[in-house]
Amino acid sequence: MALGTNVKTYFEGRWHEADVPIMRAADHGSWLGTSVFDGARAFDGLTPDLLAHCERVNSSARALMMTPTVSAEDMVAITLEGLKLFPKVSAVYIRPMYWATEAGYGAIVPQSEGTGFAICLEEVPMAPPEASITLTTTQFRRPVLESAVVNAKAGCLYPNNARMLAEAKAKGYGNALVADAPGNVAETATANVFMVRDGEVLTPIANGTFLAGITRARHMTNLAADGLPVAEKVLTFEDFRQADEVFLSGNMSKVTPVTEFDGTHYQVGPVTRRVREMYWDWAHSAG
């Protein structure tokens, strides 16, 4: 089932006007989950950080022992061609992906050269500026590199995120603030997280248990240029309970204010509003 509407698929060298089938039943990715993807956004005729997202999907493929078959630069060119199939004002979710097609050693290891590739474009509206979310805790944690491919944006990681979100929804919240293995805050189930306390902006240190996102890095660069550098630190759940502002950072919505964490309430404060303003200013100036 598509996430959005008006789906276009690049597969086997051309664009298709539909959500077309791309995997076979015996593909390694179908039965053993060797698939990776990335997500970028097009809006207002802009594609901010598209090259970085294409570079990361190639890096993710290598982390799952697949050989990327399309250069990041070619991926950008293909995507820009596909976006011409949409009205310029459309907000589009851009999802390049790879999956293993052939089994290698022991059937479990993929054959690195057997790699499928596709790009899926879907119209998905950007979240309205007033959108916000609430957070709760979850019993589930982010894994470590020794037990999962946390250095990739891999499909096989997402069942863990799904149970985090399902638990949060069952408790009446929109998302979960998630711990790493030692019990410190890593991110949420779907996005990186920032907090503001006494005028200082902080975010969990990138310790290898989660992807330190491309949009996260963009916010950090923008804030530093605005005279408010972000401190990466080990942060606890109690730190977030003492925060003045909390916001999420992810490709889908860019900036999402948090209004509650398990009974601790926050205002949508000046730093959160400024981060959103700077991102849109940067995207339009870079576009």
Write out the chain's pLDDT in tens, 287 residues.
Answer: 577 779 999 999 999 999 999 999 999 999 999 999 999 999 999 999 999 999 999 999 999 999 999 999 999 999 999 999 999 889 999 999 999 998 888 888 998 888 999 999 999 999 998 899 999 999 999 999 999 999 999 999 999 999 999 999 999 999 999 999 999 999 999 999 999 999 999 999 999 999 999 999 999 999 999 999 999 999 999 999 999 999 999 999 999 999 999 999 999 999 999 999 999 999 999 76
- Model pLDDT, residue 1: 56
Scan for tokens 């950090």, then name that residue.
220
CB of 96 closer than 8 Å to CB of 53: yes
The single-letter code of the amino acid at 107 is A
Q: What is the dihedral of CA 17, 156, 94, 125, to 10 degrees?
A: 100
- Model pLDDT, residue 287: 62
* Structure letter (DSSP) for residue 214: H
Provide the terminal-to-terminal Cα distance of the chain, rounded to the nearest Å. 31
CB of 185 closer than 8 Å to CB of 179: yes
Report the alpha-carbon distance of residue 239 to residue 236 in Å, rounded: 5
Report the alpha-carbon distance of residue 134 to residue 101 in Å, rounded: 40
- Torsions phi, psi of 44, nearest 5? 55, 30
- Torsions phi, psi of 227, nearest 5? 85, 15
* Structure letter (DSSP) for residue 92: E
pTM for the predicted model, two decimal places: 0.94
Residue of 57, 99, 91 whose CA lies nearest to 75: 57
Q: What is the dihedral of CA 234, 238, 239, 242, to 10 degrees?
A: 180
Report the alpha-carbon distance of residue 121 to residue 15 in Å, rounded: 10
pLDDT digits (tens, 9 = 90+) for 166-214: 999 999 999 999 999 999 999 999 999 999 999 999 999 999 999 999 9
156: alpha, beta or left? (left if phi > 0; alpha if psi -120 to 50): alpha
- Model pLDDT, residue 88: 87
Tokens read off for 49: 């950080």
Q: Where in the chain is the domain with CATH 3.20.10.10?
A: 133-286
Report the alpha-carbon distance of residue 210 to residue 208 in Å, rounded: 6
Give the contacts of 1 (CB within 8 A, at least 6 positions apart): none
Q: Where in the chain is the domain with CATH 3.30.470.10?
A: 5-123
Give the contacts of 219 (CB within 8 A, at least 6 positions apart): 194, 230, 249, 255, 275, 278, 279
Is the Cα torsion angle 33, 49, 147, 115 positive or negative in sign? positive
User: Which CATH code fits 133-286?
Assistant: 3.20.10.10
Tokens read off for 202: 């902080």
The single-letter code of the amino acid at 148 is A
Classified by CATH at the fold level, domain 5-123 comes out as: D-amino Acid Aminotransferase; Chain A, domain 1 (3.30.470)
